[in-house]
Amino acid sequence: MAFIFNTTIPLNELPTPLILLPPHEVHSVLLSTYIHLGTFSILVWDVINNLRNDWRLVSSSKQGIPTSVYFTTRISLLAYAVGRALLLTHPIKDCAKFQDALNWFLIVFVASTALLFYIRVCALYAMKKAVIGFFGIFWLATVAMAGTYSKTFSAENIRTTEYCLERPAGDLLGPALVVQLANELFLYLVVAYKVYALLVANLLSRSAVGSCSWNTTLFAVTRFAVLEPHLYCLCIVATKAFLVCAAYAFHPPVDAMFIIVHLILTNVWSGRMYRALQPTARPVRELPMISQAEFEMRFGRSPQPPPSQHPGGEQTGSPDFTSTQNSSVRVADEHNADANELKRTSTSIYSIRRDCKM
């Protein structure tokens, strides 16, 4: 015979407030907490690892609006991540007001990050009016849709306890992410087009033929693809596309569970791009790159060795070892000079602080 006893347990003696929630909500809360704390550790590591670089930016004699926007993105996201960690793990008396305060940090971060990318593309296109107007409208739309986060993210206390439970609403999350994805995608495409055009022009200026061939085009694409800043931009667009799919494929709170991952990765990658453009920072590490001669030997026609010149003026098709070796040395020197010029060109066209003086 089984006996059932009705007993009352004081709330302060409960082993965890999650015992008052249904099992599926408990699973969502624990998963959100683990994801947030894991990605938050990445942000803490990035901040600590770049304290010296950030101090160089602060102590630099030339500081402008882009530098202020950069630090706004860092501080706002750090404040939001710390506050949300407290919201998920620490007792708070009024969870709704605390979440409203966190939403403002989130809105400031999204708006300032979009502004940093907007300044970058304006500097790249030499402040053309069409670029300023087109992407200015996209930036305003991004800020406006980010303002809906105050209606999307909310929190409440778990029963009468002082622990919080997030209550995201997915009605406005999808449209806001779509607008932000469109902005980031257009920014990536116009930057990719500009840098690719500069690479092709640089290769053609060093080519003896002076015309654009398939090898030249493909070689420029490979050089553009391995540039680290553009890989960061492509990853930012890819993670935002994943958030858009999650917003329409899943229900709350799963649809907003991975937003913190995208925010922190975006801040880390955009911070690395901005710091690499500053004179006080170390150059960005480049991925391994082959020379144009090696590229043509692998994917196209192998370069023909120069014909040897005999004293009588007769040319033969047999390659001379010395001339071939000197040609290889000249190709390597030209490639190194081309790489150095590309670095200087990329630094000049992306130098936000120098080209966007206010």
pLDDT surpasses 70 at 59 = yes
Q: Do the Cβ atoms of 198 and 281 come closer than 8 Å?
A: no
- Highest mean pLDDT out of 2-11, 228-237, 252-261: 252-261
Residue at 149 is within a domain: yes
**pLDDT for 73:** 95
CATH number at residue 138: 1.20.1070
Task: Give kind and range of the element (H or E) at residue 309.
Answer: strand 307-309
- Domain limits at 299? 22-303+330-355
Q: How many structural domains is the chain composed of?
A: 1
d(CA 45, CA 205): 43
Residue at 337 is within a domain: yes
Residue at 320 is within a domain: no
Distances in whole angstroms, Cα of residue 329 to Cα of each of 99, 206, 325, 335: 63, 16, 6, 10
pLDDT one-digit tens code per residue, 93-114:
899 999 999 999 999 999 999 9
Q: Do the Cβ atoms of 199 and 224 come closer than 8 Å?
A: yes
Band of residue 182 on the pLDDT scale cut at 50, 70, 90:
very high
Band of residue 140 on the pLDDT scale cut at 50, 70, 90:
very high
Query: 3-state DSSP call for residue 65?
Result: helix
Residue at 316 is within a domain: no
Averaged pLDDT, 65-76: 92
Q: Which one-letter DSSP state was computed for residue 253? A: T
pLDDT surpasses 70 at 320 = no
Question: 126: alpha, beta or left, given left = phi > 0 and alpha = psi -120 to 50?
Answer: left
Averaged pLDDT, 180-185: 93
d(CA 330, CA 333): 5
Residue at 325 is within a domain: no
pLDDT surpasses 80 at 14 = no
Residue at 30 is within a domain: yes
Number of neighbours of residue 204 by Cβ within 10 angstroms: 15
Shortest CA distance to 104 belongs to which of 130, 143, 71? 143
Residue at 324 is within a domain: no
Residue at 7 is within a domain: no
Q: Do the Cβ atoms of 134 and 99 come closer than 8 Å?
A: no
Instruction: Report CA Rg, the chain.
Output: 28
d(CA 53, CA 282): 9
pTM value?
A: 0.72
**pLDDT for 21:** 79
Alpha-helical (H) ranges within the chain are 23-49, 51-59, 65-89, 95-124, 129-146, 149-152, 173-206, 214-225, 228-249, 259-276, 292-299, 321-350, 352-355
